[in-house]
Amino acid sequence: MKSEGLLTLVKRGIYIAGPKLYSRQPENPLLANHLLGPSYVSIDSALSFHGLIPERVYSVTSMTTKASRAFDTPIGLFTYIQLPLPYYAFGINMVGLTNAQYAMIASPEKAICDKIINTSGLILRSISSAGNYLLDNLRMDEEILKALNTQMMREWLPDAPKKESLNFVITLIESL
């Protein structure tokens, strides 16, 4: 069926409808959830999905409890980054996509935290540096930031890596 164009191999054991079938392909966030589980879409992919950053993202980045890895597939690049439990389990939402498809995607709050935690070499040492990073470097939408649930973010701090940096981010958001 692969050679006839009826199926496309995404990863060993995972196939989607091929080019000769006129059915819709699964959305990339849904596919990301199935390529490696447990996982949820986060960082730039989720920030773009929620409208926090203006850039369009072409690869899908997800968080997982398993070892970090990447899959370069005919559909696109899917990257997975390991997070520790229990922090991994916070802030994950089941989100409706097009065509009655649903995927596990980080809430806007969790996507920001994951971005801070997983940006190598990033240590925020003040509210000002948090503002420079979020508003100037990432060009995040200030109005969306104002609406975030900082109390929920504070509840994650005891279990989160980079607690100090996240605390400055939360304080910045509360001051907007």
Give the pLDDT confidence of 41-89 residue by residue, as tens digits: 999 999 999 999 998 899 999 999 999 999 999 889 999 999 999 999 9
Q: What is the mean pLDDT of the chain?
A: 94
pLDDT of 80-137, one tens digit each? 999 999 999 999 999 999 878 999 999 999 999 999 999 999 999 999 999 999 999 9
User: Are the beta carbons of 42 and 60 closer than 8 angstroms?
Assistant: no
Judged by average pLDDT, the poorest of 20-34, 134-148, 158-172 is: 20-34
Q: Report the distance separating Cα 44 and Cα 46, nearest Å.
A: 5
Burial letters for 119-139: b for 16+ Cβ neighbours within 10 Å, e otherwise? Answer: beeeebeebebbbebbeeebe
Instruction: Find the Cα–Cα–Cα–Cα dihedral 131, 136, 137, 142, rounded to 10°.
Output: 70
CB under 8 Å to 84, separation ≥6 — which residues?
A: 159, 161
Does the pLDDT at position 17 exceed 90? no
- Work out the pLDDT band at 7, boundaries 50, 70, 90: confident
CA angle 54, 60, 63 (to 5 degrees): 110
pTM: 0.92
Q: What are phi and psi of 142, to 5 degrees?
A: -60, -35
Residue 77 pairs in a beta bridge with 72
Between 4 and 106, the more confident residue is 106
- In the numeric block, which tokens belong to residue 129? 């540096």
Cβ neighbours for 137, distance < 8 A, ≥ 6 positions apart: none
Separation CA 22–CA 18 (nearest Å): 8
Confidence of residue 9 (pLDDT cuts 50, 70, 90): confident
Confidence of residue 2 (pLDDT cuts 50, 70, 90): confident
Residue 3 pLDDT = 79
Band (pLDDT 50/70/90 cuts) for residue 163 is very high
Give the helix/strand (H/E) hosting 71.
strand 69-72
User: What amino acid occupies position 9?
Assistant: L
Alpha-carbon gap, residue 124 to 129, rounded angstroms: 6
pLDDT at 4 over 90: no
